[in-house]
Structure 1
Amino acid sequence: MSLTVVLGMTVLTGCGGATAKTSGARAGKSADFPNKPISLIVPFAAGGGTDTTARALAKAAEKVFKQPVTVVNKTGGGGSVGMTEGSNAKSDGYTVTVVTVELTTLPHLGLSPITYQNFKPVGMMNYEPAAITVRADSPWQTMKDFLDYAKANPGKVRLGNSGTGAIWHLAAAALEKETGTKFNHIPFEGAAPAITALLGGHVDAVPVSPPEVKSQVESGKLRSLAVLDDKPAEVLPGVKTLKEETGIAFDYIGTWRGLGVPKDTPDEIVQALSEGFLKGMEDEEFKAFMKKNGLTIVSKDSSSFGQYVKENDERFGKLIPELGLSKK
């Protein structure tokens, strides 16, 4: 498990970021915050990766806030239902929402009524890149083999993804665009069924996260060819990055999780939440949970996370229409 921490509270323009500057009166207003339980909305089902990560962080944050942090699952719409409810909550800091990369993709797909601008960012907690993975008996031994074949045989490589317009479809589309290849994208209802299809020989490869293929790679059933990131994934030892394998590097697409509050939440409350949850991410039990599950802690404070989300939104605002997926 790797831990990346980006700190430094600054003023954001157009990102809804918190500022460190408050008057004495306003600072006093948050001096006793929080003084009652905090609700943490998770926009996905109980038991999934986002839910279990949120529950582990909630447990760690309780030690910091000295108040219960209660997870509430609000599912539907690929995360849109829960994030919409969170954005419309009371702006007092007592309802925090787990926001995911879908906050910056669903609006451009015409599938969500809200955008990142409906939130003030609290902080980022996790990031996972894509890894191109094939069956152990695949004829492609390297990423170069895979891309060379794809270039020579446009549309023949069947690439299973987690759904049309979902993050792993977009990650594969970005790879396609940057390498001059053309894949046959096969959508499934999530990464797990795409991996099952790969194991059964129904697709040739999947572009999902390292933790999602970790157990199958370790058992010798699958083989990852490259990680689409600037650095290798700890859970896939020996697997190089795309740049190390091919010399190709670009602005990779991956999945992330963070926290947000309604856009009108006072800045000093946002700062208190950001500092508290960041401290929670340093908790040994939380770090042990993330390592056990092969997840990477990438920690950004309110300002840094706000800028990161804005850049993601701008990128998907260009890529999704290019793919003909925009329904606006």
Structure 2
Amino acid sequence: MKKISRRDFLAASAAVGAAGVLTACGGSSSTAASTAGSAAASSAAGGKSTDYPTKGISVICPWSAGGGTDSCLRAFCEAMGKNLGVTLTVDNQTGGGGILGHQAIADANTDGYTIGMITFELATYKKLGTSELTWENYAPLCRVNTDAAAITVGAKWAADNGITDLPGFIDYCKAHPGEVQMGGSSNASVWHIAGGYLMSATGIDIQMITYQEGAATAVQNAAGGFIQGVTVSLAEARSFIESGDLICLGVMDEERNPVFPDVPTCKEQGYDITYYTQRGMAAPLGVDDAIMTRLEEACAAAIEDPDFVTFMNNNGQAISYLDAQGYADYLKQAAVDVAAAMDAVGL
């Protein structure tokens, strides 16, 4: 893990929050199946039919099991599988701050049997000089989810220091500049930059601890008392909030999260802070149009699947669907917004 202080962010983290763009999170490598019926499906596109799919589909997740991207993707694969009539298997390919998995999606066979979920970090790689990958290396299928960042801290640490709300946390940080350690995810990732945005918006000085394996490890460290808190989504911290190891002080959203109705927004507490992340489905470039159409149909059906909707609602993850063209337009604009924000923040 790596420590990053306030001065690395303060130039303009607010620009990132205004961009309101893409994301991900998780920790090591695993594979799990989302099962559905075994019958093959057929569809028509551009006047020709396809018997796709006739076998299971591999779905690459650039982040490890246990994070927000992984949980969202597994539920979505279950729903897609019902429509496609085959098993969709989630393949967690982690490493390099998400580069390994994103590269694997871009390099996949174009037969339609390997797709994946792309995340915020994709918009940062080229500018950081860590990879040449951009959204243009993919054929977007749909946007699935957006999640707001939240300020969540260790329950014992908060109790020991008399912190019960966001103003109390801000006051403590101002009285102890540079002492509080908050975790996000990998360097220049959405939750990492969320911490910089928090500093910029409130004037506090905290240390942002980065975790290349993703947010799941950051949350575990906060629950264990190794760091004071995290700036990740509520969904990623949920199990430890419910166990009482962590408490959420505020969510960076316009409205309260329905799963945690007692947690106020930052705005309600006097801080005009909104900050979001995003996740979506994509295929490698070059997949046959008829197959792309079939996958897009499955995505559109999955987003309305009752089991998926229930899972997302129960998990505190917002469904924010865009079709293939809408998602492509979104990614194009997001790339511009993220580049400007990274310039401002010195990345």
Say yes or no: TM over 0.5.
yes
Q: Which residue of 2 aligns with 1:103?
A: 122
CA distance, structure 2, for counterparts of residue 159 and residue 75 of structure 1: 23
**Cα displacement (A) at 1:54:** 2.8
Matched AA of 1:257: R
| TM norm structure 2 | 0.74
Find 1:167's aligned residue among 179, 190, 199: 190
Q: Secondary structure at the match of 1:239?
A: coil
Find 1:34's aligned residue among 38, 44, 52: 52
Whether contact under 8 Å (2:120, 2:189) holds in the other structure is no
CA distance, structure 2, for counterparts of residue 130 and residue 225 of structure 1: 11
Q: Secondary structure at the match of 2:208?
A: strand
- Does residue 65 of the first structure (1) align with residue 84 of the second (2)? yes
User: What does residue range 9-24 of structure 1 map to in structure 2 within 5 Å?
Assistant: none
CA distance, structure 1, for counterparts of residue 92 and residue 226 of structure 2: 33
Matched AA of 1:186: I
Q: Which residue of 1 aligns with 2:230?
A: 206
**Alpha-carbon displacement from aligned partner over 1:187-234 (angstroms, at most 9, x marks no partner):** 345334433443444433321211222233233332211101222222
Structure-2 change in CA distance of 1:180 and 1:314 (3 Å): farther
CA distance, structure 1, for counterparts of residue 271 and residue 71 of structure 2: 36
**Alpha-carbon displacement from aligned partner over 1:31-51 (angstroms, at most 9, x marks no partner):** 336243343223334565534
Q: Secondary structure at the match of 2:256?
A: coil
**Cα displacement (A) at 1:107:** 3.0
User: What does residue range 44-59 of structure 1 map to in structure 2 within 5 Å?
Assistant: 44-45=63-64, 49-59=68-78
Structure-2 change in CA distance of 1:51 and 1:185 (3 Å): closer
Whether contact under 8 Å (2:182, 2:227) holds in the other structure is yes
Matched AA of 2:206: F
Q: Secondary structure at the match of 1:182?
A: coil
Find 1:186's aligned residue among 199, 206, 209: 209
Whether contact under 8 Å (1:210, 1:235) holds in the other structure is no
Q: Which residue of 1 aligns with 2:96?
A: 77
The 10-residue stretch of structure 1 (238-247 or 105-114) with the greater mean CA deviation from structure 2: 105-114
**Cα displacement (A) at 1:75:** 3.3
Matched AA of 2:50: D
CA distance, structure 2, for counterparts of residue 73 and residue 151 of structure 1: 40
Structure-2 change in CA distance of 1:231 and 1:94 (3 Å): same
CA distance, structure 1, for counterparts of residue 119 and residue 295 of structure 2: 18
Find 1:300's aligned residue among 322, 326, 335: 322
Matched AA of 2:279: R
Q: Which residue of 1 aligns with 2:180?
A: 157
- Does residue 233 of the first structure (1) align with residue 257 of the second (2)? yes
Question: Where does the alignment leave 5 or more consecutive residues of structure 2 unmatched?
Answer: 1-43
Q: Secondary structure at the match of 1:99?
A: strand
Structure-2 change in CA distance of 1:205 and 1:40 (3 Å): closer
CA distance, structure 2, for counterparts of residue 316 and residue 71 of structure 1: 28
**Cα displacement (A) at 1:153:** 4.9
- Does residue 273 of the first structure (1) align with residue 295 of the second (2)? yes
Structure-2 change in CA distance of 1:167 and 1:54 (3 Å): same
Structure-2 change in CA distance of 1:98 and 1:198 (3 Å): closer
**Alpha-carbon displacement from aligned partner over 1:228-272 (angstroms, at most 9, x marks no partner):** 12222223221111112215145x143x32111223445564343
Structure-2 change in CA distance of 1:152 and 1:71 (3 Å): closer
Q: Which residue of 1 aligns with 2:279?
A: 257
Q: Secondary structure at the match of 1:75?
A: coil
Q: Which residue of 2 aligns with 1:8?
A: none
Matched AA of 1:234: P
Q: Secondary structure at the match of 2:133?
A: coil
**Alpha-carbon displacement from aligned partner over 1:136-190 (angstroms, at most 9, x marks no partner):** 3143332223334444654333222323323211111122223333322223453
Q: Which residue of 2 aligns with 1:219?
A: 243
Structure-2 change in CA distance of 1:35 and 1:305 (3 Å): same
**Alpha-carbon displacement from aligned partner over 1:50-85 (angstroms, at most 9, x marks no partner):** 344333322322222234434444333232222212
Q: Secondary structure at the match of 1:208?
A: coil
The 10-residue stretch of structure 1 (43-52 or 62-71) with the greater mean CA deviation from structure 2: 43-52
The 10-residue stretch of structure 1 (36-45 or 118-127) with the greater mean CA deviation from structure 2: 36-45
Structure-2 change in CA distance of 1:190 and 1:51 (3 Å): closer
Matched AA of 1:174: Y
CA distance, structure 1, for counterparts of residue 70 and residue 215 of structure 2: 16
Find 1:282's aligned residue among 304, 309, 334: 304
| TM norm structure 1 | 0.78
**Alpha-carbon displacement from aligned partner over 1:96-153 (angstroms, at most 9, x marks no partner):** 2211222223333322231111112111222222110123314333222333444465
Q: Secondary structure at the match of 2:150?
A: strand
Q: Which residue of 2 aligns with 1:113?
A: 132
CA distance, structure 2, for counterparts of residue 151 and residue 232 of structure 1: 26
